[in-house]
Amino acid sequence: MAPFSTGLGGRHGRSGLGDGRMMGQNGRPDLGALLWPRSVAVVGASPDMETLRGRIMKVMTGHAFKGSLYPISRSHGEVMGLKAYPSVADLPAPADLAILIIPAQHVPAELERCGKAGVRSAVVLSSGFAEATGGDGAGLQDEMRAIVKRYGMAVMGPNSEGFANTAAALCPTFSPAVEPSDRPLLPQGRARGQLAVIAQSGGIGFSFFDHGRAKELAFRYVVTTGNEACLDTLDFADFILDEGKVSALLMLLEDVKSPDSFRRVAEKALKAGVPIIVNKIGQSEAGMRAAASHTAALAGSYDAHRAMFQRYGLIEVRDLGEMVDIAADFVAFGSKLPAGKRVGICTASGGGGGWMADACTAAGLEVPQLDAATRAKIDVHLPVYGTSQNPVDATAQALHKIGYAGLARFVVESPAVDSVVVVMTARNAANLERQREAMTALAAEAGKPILLWSYTLPAPASVKLLSEAGYPLFTDIPNCARTLRAMADYRALRERFLRPIAVRAPFDVDRAAAQRGLAVAGPVLCEWEARPILAAYGIGSKDAGELVERADAAAAAAQKIGGAVALKVQSPDIAHKTEAGAVALNLVGADAVRTAYARVLGNAVRAVPNARVLGVLVQPMAPPGREVILGVKRDATFGPLLMVGLGGVNVEIFKDVALAPLPLSEADARDMLGRLKGAPLLGSFRGQPAADVNALVDLMVRLGQFASDHAETIAEIDLNPVLVHPQGQGVSVVDALIVKGQPQPLRT
């Protein structure tokens, strides 16, 4: 076993500190002391292999950690051949890291002891804190947090399963996944790119390692954060990104504790080109129940998380194995992500090629016919029952002659494709051994990613061989296709993100006016109250009708306006006017207006007997247009998000809406519209001219700016409907509602 074989060494290289430590920056706790300690004390260590306290010692002593390891035990003078100490206070020198594996109720006192003794960091493995349903676990967790803060320690947990730092051969965990075995922690042979796992769940965190190791992946860290009382997933991600040693991050997230931290870390990762492959536990109600009871996570709205992931290019994945597959190929091909969605498929199994073509198409990729020049080069080698069209079905016979690499090289050089999938059989490693050199050269020289799928169950030796040659091996068809799609999407999103954008002239907004209007308003602002405030941001028209208090005045207003009018009862107590019958549309003539006036007021009073009515709004009917719903809702974690949907049925029945965090650039707004399945409805459709998308985008950006500027005051905004008129004719905000409310502080 040679845990340092990657050449990275056991020391941490950042900021020139040669002693393997990190200094705490900006008063933040020192994660370097935690992940790269020179000395580790295990509080609660035991020689009894039947207990977790014994198993952790077995795991830790079984790896070639170069630092000092101190068992802390009151009942044993020696554990696993190491001298034990009765307390962290008795150590020859303060430990950099203490591992606590003791009952929850003793944890605060022990942390106090650690702090006093100068211990700089700790991992709390004990359970029974905020995740416990009975007892005072939450209180214990608060107590623990206060102590940790006082001493400025870096602390992982509680309810964590510890971590693994493979380069340091340090595994303070009882996870069986990193138990000493014949299999080294890092794959041997040629050095390859590394990745890291950060998971709130210990069991799942280490299972990523378990699955990935079988695929010859090199994990630099596995970090399991548990309840995250002090340090959270994003703190570790931040540290690992700053190190600059991994090409991908696998993340299992139960909640986000700080949205600012999320934004900062996600941006850092995107800039660095280190993809974050994520699953968010708690997408369903039952999943949320599980997360809450499990690591005391307060799972925020899944939709909001999803919108954040989309904004920052986090790659959201539904299966553990698929996450590992995607990470593996990003590590291998991160420097040559596909420039587009066109895939060339090479195969000796016609059925396998067809299946992969179907899977690629289902994943939103294209499988175009190859260009004539490429086909001519390939055809030379094919028997009559092969084909070079794409999938290129070379037949076993031709592949025997030119090999997978020979065939893939023809295809990867074709201008018609951005990436290549080779459908192969990897059950026999000896067959592949003959192709090792050619495959290795191809991986190094090709300018596009080449993904391999084995339709047979691969021999472990095949997996190893191909990994050394530079290729992860897929055994799952959709995973392979979805990985290519994720790589193409990630590259496109990142390039858009990195591109300097034309700075937009500052809005013609009157923030102060809006603020004043909001300050004096009640908790719910009906259209009449909301309009002038929104108008300060150029949203809707300030002058959109007349508020009247008598039927005659309504008729007079209608006459002044001319043409058909609408009447709408204005009351902060009637949010759903249409349902209450408090709206009348398309009224022509004084009589119609008078009759409608009485009707809508009567309906309003019947619907909400004690409603405060400001009056009835008389407005011209808006010209026709595509119906759009714009809304802003505050998420408990991420703050205000903008929602857009087209038409009523599309939103209600097909749930066809897009959500994005604020503020919003024009590009973001266009991206949202593009995500709608109903997007074609905004173009020329059924003889209608294209809608004024530019005006809609402008409205979305303004609304986003408004909601963002007043995020502390506004809980909800509804512009429903907005009518988008034909190109050049703008939009009409037909109705508007603002609900005030202050954000609730996040539980941490």
Q: Is 153 or 582 the residue whose CB approaches a copy of itself more closely?
A: 582
Which H helix or E strand runs over 268? Answer: helix 259-272
Phi, psi for 92 (deg, rounded to 5): -55, -35
Cβ atoms of residues 52 and 43 within 8 Å: no
Selection from 639, 638, 631 nearest residue 657 by Cα: 631
Cβ atoms of residues 658 and 644 within 8 Å: yes
Q: If you compute the radius of gyration of the chain from its CA atoms, what whole number of angstroms results? A: 31
Give burial (CB, 10 Å; 0-12/13-18/19+) of 671.
Answer: middle
CB of 276 to a copy of itself, least distance (A): 17
CB of 714 to a copy of itself, least distance (A): 28
Task: Quote the CA–CA distance of 39 and 60 in Å, as a whole number.
Answer: 12
Task: Quote the CA–CA distance of 149 and 93 in Å, as a whole number.
Answer: 22
CB of 543 to a copy of itself, least distance (A): 31
Task: Quote the CA–CA distance of 699 and 170 in Å, as a whole number.
Answer: 54
Q: Is 457 or 501 the residue whose CB approaches a copy of itself more closely?
A: 457
CB of 734 to a copy of itself, least distance (A): 17
Max intra-chain CA distance, the chain: 100
CB of 286 to a copy of itself, least distance (A): 3
CB of 580 to a copy of itself, least distance (A): 12
Task: Quote the CA–CA distance of 591 and 588 in Å, as a whole number.
Answer: 8
Task: Quote the CA–CA distance of 47 and 69 in Å, as a whole number.
Answer: 14
Q: Is 669 or 681 the residue whose CB approaches a copy of itself more closely?
A: 681
CB of 14 to a copy of itself, least distance (A): 30
Length of the chain: 748
Q: Is 518 or 607 the residue whose CB approaches a copy of itself more closely?
A: 607
Q: Is 137 or 334 the residue whose CB approaches a copy of itself more closely?
A: 137
Q: Is 263 or 294 the residue whose CB approaches a copy of itself more closely?
A: 294
Task: Quote the CA–CA distance of 577 and 570 in Å, as a whole number.
Answer: 9
CB of 209 to a copy of itself, least distance (A): 9
Q: Is 252 or 536 the residue whose CB approaches a copy of itself more closely?
A: 252
CB of 216 to a copy of itself, least distance (A): 13
CB of 679 to a copy of itself, least distance (A): 8
DSSP class per residue in 275-339: PEEEEES-SSHHHHHHHHHHH------HHHHHHHHHHHT-EE-S-HHHHHHHHHHHHHHGGG--S
CB of 254 to a copy of itself, least distance (A): 7
Q: Is 410 or 455 the residue whose CB approaches a copy of itself more closely?
A: 455
Which H helix or E strand runs over 466? Answer: helix 460-469
Task: Quote the CA–CA distance of 403 and 721 in Å, as a whole number.
Answer: 61
In the block, residue with structure tokens 């703008």: 730
Task: Quote the CA–CA distance of 475 and 211 in Å, as a whole number.
Answer: 13
Q: Is 586 or 742 the residue whose CB approaches a copy of itself more closely?
A: 586
Q: Is 429 or 561 the residue whose CB approaches a copy of itself more closely?
A: 429
List Cβ<8 Å contacts ≥24 apart for 112-117: 112/147, 113/87, 113/88, 113/89, 114/43, 114/88, 114/151, 114/153, 115/147, 115/148, 115/150, 115/151, 115/153, 116/89, 116/151, 117/87, 117/88, 117/89, 117/91
CB of 280 to a copy of itself, least distance (A): 8
Phi, psi for 592 (deg, rounded to 5): -60, -40
Task: Quote the CA–CA distance of 100 and 526 in Å, as a whole number.
Answer: 57
Q: Is 440 or 475 the residue whose CB approaches a copy of itself more closely?
A: 475
Three-state secondary-structure class, residue 634 = strand
CB of 47 to a copy of itself, least distance (A): 19
CB of 322 to a copy of itself, least distance (A): 8
Q: Is 93 or 214 the residue whose CB approaches a copy of itself more closely?
A: 214
Which residues, other chains included, contact 297 with Cβ-Cβ below 8 Å and sequence gap of 6+? 200, 228, 254, 255, 281, 282, 291
Q: Is 142 or 267 the residue whose CB approaches a copy of itself more closely?
A: 142
Task: Quote the CA–CA distance of 395 and 531 in Å, as a whole number.
Answer: 69
Chain CA centroid to CA 510, Å: 34
Q: Is 20 or 108 the residue whose CB approaches a copy of itself more closely?
A: 108
Task: Quote the CA–CA distance of 288 and 291 in Å, as a whole number.
Answer: 5
